[in-house]
Amino acid sequence: MRADLLRLFGLWRDRRGWLAAGAVVATLSALAGIALLTLAGRAVADGVAPAAIFAGGAAAFLWLRPVAVLRPVLRYLDRLVSHAATFRALADTRVWFFRRLAERLPAGVGFRRTGDLLGRLVSDIDALDRVYLGALLPAVAALSVVVAVALVLGAISPLLALMVAAPLALALLLPPLLAPGAAEAGRRVAAAQGSLRAAVVDPLTGIEDTLASGAEGLAAQRVAQEGSTLARAQRLLARRGAWGGAAGSVLTQAAMLGAIAWGLAGGAEVAGVVLGLFLATAAAETLGLMPRAGAALAAAGASARRLFEAADAIPPVTEPAAPAEMPKGFAIRLEDVRFAWSPDRPAVFDGLTLEIPEGARLALLGPSGAGKSSLAALLLKLAAPQGGRILLGDVDIATLPADRLRARIACLTQDARLFDDSIEDNLRIAKPDAEEAALWRALDAAGIGELVRTLPEGLKTRCGEAGLRFSGGQARRLALARVLLSEAPVLILDEPAAGLDPDTERAFLETLAEATAGRSVILITHRLIGVERPTRILRLAGGRALPAMG
Amino acid sequence: MSRQMSETDRAARALLGEEARRARTRLALPFALGVAQVTAGIAQAMLIARLIATLLGFGEAGWAELAAAAALAALSAGLGVAQERALTAAGEAAKARLRQAAFSRLLAAGPADERPVGERAALVVDRIEAMEGYLTRWLPAASLAVAGPALVALAAGLADPTSGAILAVAGLLVPVAMAVTGLGAAQASRRQFEALGRLSGRFLDRMRGLPTLVLFRRQDAEAAALSTAATELRRRTMRVLRVAFLSSAAMEVLAAGAIACLAIRHGYVLGAAHPDPVAAIFVLLLVPAFFAPLRAFSMAYHERLSASGAAAELAPLLSAPEAEPGLVLEEMPRRLVVTFTDVRLSYDPTRPPALDGLSFRVLPGETLVLTGPSGAGKSSVLRLLMGFRKPDAGRIALNGQDATLLKPSELRKLCAYVGQRAHLFRGTLRENIRLARPGATDAEVEAAAEAAQVMAFARGLSQGLDTLVGEGGFGLSGGQAQRVAVARAFLRDAPLVLLDEPTAHLDPGTEAEVLDSLRRLCAGRTAIVATHSRAAQRALGRVLEIDGGRAQGARLAAGD
């Protein structure tokens, strides 16, 4: 847990100014709090006593009023600054996490449940505010209070200082002592929350299939189950927090009673007792919260752990340490490539050799599962072959940075996704600075320009999540337009005509050659309809590519 | 707009009020424990005041009082633990009920609820948690914030009436200060929740499309956009907190003021000739005890703000009737005649209608193949028959009875459906198929898998049908996921078969095999198949071409 928290502070490095400011204000506010009550106690004791018991006479009254004004102001600033600091740090964490996932899981979320991941980013990162707000800041403030109490009372009697400050110091030490035990409880809560969210997201994502199967009851039952698992975990964590709170209140009471016991036992001056009593009473507010910070720290530690676990997934393809120069040409050659998605799955390619000269139009046929999509993954470095090599313009792509490579090869994948933005924004993903005329050209080439023109909001029409506001075929053509808009010299089109009606399919394939003039095209398809005019046709079978006829 | 706002506010308040009423009996125990804790604190302050007065030279308290004070401290800690346990128990019951209610309504709303999945999931997870804060922290804190200070002020007044009055005035000013500072907070809170929901929705959307973003090298730009969204969230949250903290600062002002007033009264005004030194110390020691419940209340105040934001979002969902309206099937018909008469459907008033007066009839044992360009309305026909949508006009009849009178879930009992984007749930292939009929035996599941050509690829997997597939069907190609959905339809064994592009993503060889089994699936049932595939059109049956939401050559297709 410690390693995770330290790594977290590392991520917050850039915000240390804000974070330190929060700690300073919190300390001042806590000190003003104990000063106020102690000054009042001293004033009353001094006032009612028959003879003066404090040196310095009416000094308490002199200080009482400014401190009474300062304390609320400091308290307000304390909360404001500390929250502003936390939110800044958390926003940084959020972005860092997204970048990491893009790097580590470029091929998508796969077995990691998307709902769970969403929970990780939003809840876990939010939970991290407890590290600073719930644990670090109270600890700094409480430490300053304990030191102040020890110094003030130490000047009167070391024994009195010990009797009051020792229980307070113990209350301060409780959180780190309790944290490891609470860590497990915190981990369970965070995990249960993730599972609950996944149990909600999965049936909603496939809502049509959920309803079609009449699986509403099953889904609701699963959610109820995950909900009660979460409740159990939260109960254990709350119980720990409650006991921590009880320990905190007992310890601060012990400090108050300790001061009185010192007086009853004949400890010299009554002034010391009064100071000790009111210092301890005032310190209770700051320190009473400390033991709970242990549970908070543990929960945040668990969130940090899960966050880093996801962020540390091993990237599918390691980046070259010393990247080679990007080649000028864009001819592609595969030499004796061997590949399987995992050791326990059958090999997809077993000695695949293939050549795609610049400007070629290759049609790649084969039954589903023959590895047509795997070939795209290899070319885009979403996966790495176990043997053989892949060359782009005579340079092994293993030596090229994936990002630069992807600037050369654009791909319409089977799961190409439209985002919940406008048509225009979705297209510009391929080329952010594209002119509007270029957008229309791409839409026309994909055979959807006409439809977009009839929409009242035109290019500004929102697509909905996963393009749900369009029919399957329309969404597919928008995704296709996006690929055509990109400037990459090599295009991989994986089933570009899936979901199109035959007339649109024919019209699109007839204009494909024109729309992609000068570029290499790898057309992955189940079958040819005779208008594609490929320069070469290959059929994938048994892990190799064989020349084929239509 | 403002009218609409107040409408939402009213619904949110009604929901919170309803929940508070339900929770009342469960919250009685923690409330009583809290009152006991305050009483113990008062008694302890009295003992300590007498001890200090003794040290100052008034009265004779000793070790017995100290021991009693220590015992009270232990008792108070114990009461605190018991209170917290009682609160947790109360919150759990309420959350489970609310969550179940919200989730079942989201399921009932089905695909018609077009909000992103992340946003809807946040309703069931995060908003419910916010409601718990309201029930288990704010409500008890609110009642203790009245009872606790009242008890303390009473005790102080008995010792010294003026001091009691000072505390009472400070206490009465607290709600005034809170009302003044809390005015804008409710609105700000709602905006903050909207921002949080947007961030969740946006992230889930981008996460699902991560491969697309990476392939177009837009991950950095997206990260920057995410950062902007997070900044916006911070601004909104800070706006809420600036106000929420003002109310707690107002209380600090009152607390500091009360301390100063009491110190001046007892130390300066009454001074050395004080009639009751014990009371002087006692009332000063009571100040922290007086403000502790108010402070807890103030800390819980943002729970209330969060809860009213959450309630505003939950109220429209939860106010929908628990059970969907509609008739229940009396018996499962074996044969179905499906008739569409002049059916109209529009998703979006700014766009051309999806169905614009469509009429046709399908008889038992007959398969109707719907063709036409994408967007022509083929899928809409199937969605209507699945009860995902209601038609705007026209009549859909099953065996002559109006189908829209049936409960949607009852309607779906008649149908086996394969949608365009088959979804595989997290679980094994076997579980995914069995979903269609949970009581099916292993042999029946395997037969369905065989018929849908799932076995053709499942045999190549190391664990066969027991292979785990992820959310969204990770590890399977689009065509393979489609075949799993077809297997579900086989297992379902329903009189009406609805297939939306069942052979998209399949190569011709597999397509021919799947079509062969689909023909067997459709045999003897009423079937409607939307497809572009020429092979499917040839293989399956009578073709009805639709375009622009109408049947082409409608006379012929409308049946006899």
Report pLDDT digits (tens) over A426-443.
Answer: 999 999 999 999 999 999
Question: Helix H segments across A312-434?
Answer: 372-379, 402-408, 423-428
* B-chain residues near A53 (CB < 8 A): 56
**Rounded distance between C-alpha atoms, residue A20 and residue A170, angstroms:** 25
**Rounded distance between C-alpha atoms, residue A524 and residue A534, angstroms:** 11
User: Secondary structure of B275-324 in the HEC alphabet?
Assistant: CCHHHHHHHHHHHHHHHHHHHHHHHHHHHHHHHHHHHHHHHHHHCCCCCC
Q: Hey, are the CB atoms on A205 and B501 less than 8 Å from each other?
A: no
Question: Which option is the CATH number for B338-555: 3.40.50.300, 1.20.58.220, 3.30.530.20, 3.40.50.720?
Answer: 3.40.50.300
| Greatest mean pLDDT among A447-451, B63-67, B213-217, B244-248 | B63-67
For strands A490-494 and A520-524, give the pairing: parallel
Q: What is the mean pLDDT of residues A356-375?
A: 82
* A-chain residues near B413 (CB < 8 A): 214
List residues bridging with B402 in a β-sheet.
B397
Q: What is the pLDDT of residue A391?
A: 93
**Rounded distance between C-alpha atoms, residue B258 and residue B264, angstroms:** 10
* Complex ipTM more than 0.95, yes or no: no
Binning pLDDT at 50, 70 and 90, where does residue B528 land? very high
Query: If contacts are CB pairs under 8 Å, which of residues 27-56 in chain B contact chain A?
Result: 44, 48, 51-52, 55-56
Contacts of B549 (CB under 8 A, 6+ apart): B344, B345, B352, B353, B354, B355, B356, B357, B358, B376, B377, B380
Q: Which helix (H) or strand (E) holds A185?
A: helix A158-205
**Rounded distance between C-alpha atoms, residue B280 and residue B159, angstroms:** 8
**Is A120 in a helix, a strand, or coil?**
helix
**Rounded distance between C-alpha atoms, residue B183 and residue B8, angstroms:** 17
Q: What is the pLDDT of residue B557?
A: 41
pLDDT, tens digit (0-9, with 9 covering 90-100), for B105-134: 999 888 888 777 878 888 898 889 888 888
pLDDT cut 90: percent of chain A above it:
27
**Rounded distance between C-alpha atoms, residue B81 and residue B87, angstroms:** 10
> Six-digit token pair at B169?
């005035």
> Six-digit token pair at B423?
């979804």
pLDDT, tens digit (0-9, with 9 covering 90-100), for B221-239: 888 888 888 788 788 778 7
Contact, B241 vs A79, CB < 8 A? yes
**Rounded distance between C-alpha atoms, residue A8 and residue B544, angstroms:** 62
Binning pLDDT at 50, 70 and 90, where does residue B2 land? very low
Q: What is the pLDDT of residue B536?
A: 84
pLDDT score of B555 more than 50: no
Task: State whether residue B205 sits within 8 Å of chain A by CB.
Answer: yes
Q: What is the pLDDT of residue B554?
A: 45
* A-chain residues near B412 (CB < 8 A): 211-212, 214
**Rounded distance between C-alpha atoms, residue A50 and residue A451, angstroms:** 96
Contacts of A33 (CB under 8 A, 6+ apart): A71, A75, A282, A285, A286
pLDDT score of B311 more than 80: yes
Q: What is the pLDDT of residue A122?
A: 65
Question: Helix H segments across A385-471?
Answer: 402-408, 423-428, 436-445, 449-454
> Six-digit token pair at B556?
């012929």
Q: What is the pLDDT of residue A286?
A: 83
List residues bridging with B546 in a β-sheet.
B551
Task: State whether residue A52 sits within 8 Å of chain B by CB.
Answer: no
pLDDT score of A144 more than 70: yes
**Rounded distance between C-alpha atoms, residue B293 and residue B140, angstroms:** 10
Q: What is the mean pLDDT of residues B410-426?
A: 87
Q: What is the pLDDT of residue A119?
A: 60
> Six-digit token pair at A26?
């919190």
> Six-digit token pair at B550?
């109408």
pLDDT cut 70: percent of chain A above it:
93
* B-chain residues near A281 (CB < 8 A): 285, 288
**Is A368 in a helix, a strand, or coil?**
coil
Q: What is the mean pLDDT of residues B381-406?
A: 91
Contacts of A165 (CB under 8 A, 6+ apart): A146, A149, A150, A153, A255
For the ranges A160-169, A186-195, A478-487, B423-432, the lowest mean pLDDT is seen at A186-195
Provide the CA B204 distance to its chain's centre, in angstroms: 16
List residues bridging with A339 in a β-sheet.
A349
Question: Helix H segments across A49-157?
Answer: 59-104, 114-119, 125-127, 129, 137-154
Task: State whether residue A450 sits within 8 Å of chain B by CB.
Answer: no
**Could you say which DSSP state residue B357 is in?**
E
DSSP string, A469-485: TS-HHHHHHHHHHHHHH
Residue spans of the domains in chain B: they are: 12-314, 338-555
pLDDT score of B464 more than 90: no
* A-chain residues near B260 (CB < 8 A): 40, 64-65, 68
Q: Which helix (H) or strand (E) holds B345?
A: strand B338-345
Give me the architecture of the B12-314 domain, per CATH: Up-down Bundle (1.20)
Q: What is the pLDDT of residue B526?
A: 93
pLDDT cut 70: percent of chain B above it:
92
For strands A490-494 and A409-412, give the pairing: parallel
Q: What is the pLDDT of residue A331?
A: 92
* A-chain residues near B262 (CB < 8 A): 40, 44
Binning pLDDT at 50, 70 and 90, where does residue A255 land? very high
Q: What is the pLDDT of residue A437?
A: 94
| Per-residue exposure over B318-331, b if at least 16 CB sit within 10 Å of its own CB, e if not | beeeeebeeeeeee
**Residue scoring higher pLDDT (B542 or A123):** B542
* pTM of the predicted structure, to 2 decimals: 0.76
Q: What is the pLDDT of residue B115?
A: 79
Q: What is the mean pLDDT of residues B266-280?
A: 79
> Which chain B residue shows the shortest CA-CA distance from A194?
B125
* A-chain residues near B88 (CB < 8 A): 234-235, 238-239
Provide the CA A397 distance to its chain's centre, in angstroms: 30
What is the torsional sign of CA B234, B238, B244, B249? positive
- CA trace torsion A261, A267, A272, A276 (10° rounding): -20
Specify the residue for token string 């590890």.
B475
Task: State whether residue B325 sits within 8 Å of chain A by CB.
Answer: no
Q: What is the mean pLDDT of residues A473-481?
A: 87
Task: State whether residue A506 sits within 8 Å of chain B by CB.
Answer: no
Q: What is the pLDDT of residue A151?
A: 92
Contact, B350 vs A457, CB < 8 A? yes
pLDDT cut 90: percent of chain B above it:
28
For the ranges A394-398, B225-229, B380-384, the lowest mean pLDDT is seen at B225-229
Q: What is the mean pLDDT of residues B166-177?
A: 87
Query: If contacts are CB pairs under 8 Å, which of residues 387-406 in chain B contact chain A?
Result: 387-388
| Partner residue opposite B92 with nearest CB, options A218, A231, A346 | A231
pLDDT score of A52 more than 70: no
For the ranges A364-378, B29-43, B316-330, B462-476, the lowest mean pLDDT is seen at B462-476
pLDDT score of A284 more than 90: no
pLDDT score of B560 more than 50: no
Contact, A413 vs B212, CB < 8 A? yes
pLDDT, tens digit (0-9, with 9 covering 90-100), for B343-357: 999 887 777 788 988
For strands B550-551 and B542-547, give the pairing: antiparallel
Q: Average pLDDT, whole number, for chain B?
A: 84
Contacts of A6 (CB under 8 A, 6+ apart): none
Domains in chain A, start-ordered, CATH in brackets? 2-311 (1.20.1560.10), 332-547 (3.40.50.300)
Interface test with B, best of A216, A368, A429 (most B CBs within 10 A): A368
pLDDT, tens digit (0-9, with 9 covering 90-100), for B71-87: 999 999 999 999 989 99
Q: What is the mean pLDDT of residues B261-275?
A: 80
Task: State whether residue A233 sits within 8 Å of chain B by CB.
Answer: no
For residue A431, is it left (φ>0), alpha (ψ between -120 and 50) or beta? beta
| Partner residue opposite B208 with nearest CB, options A114, A213, A477 | A114
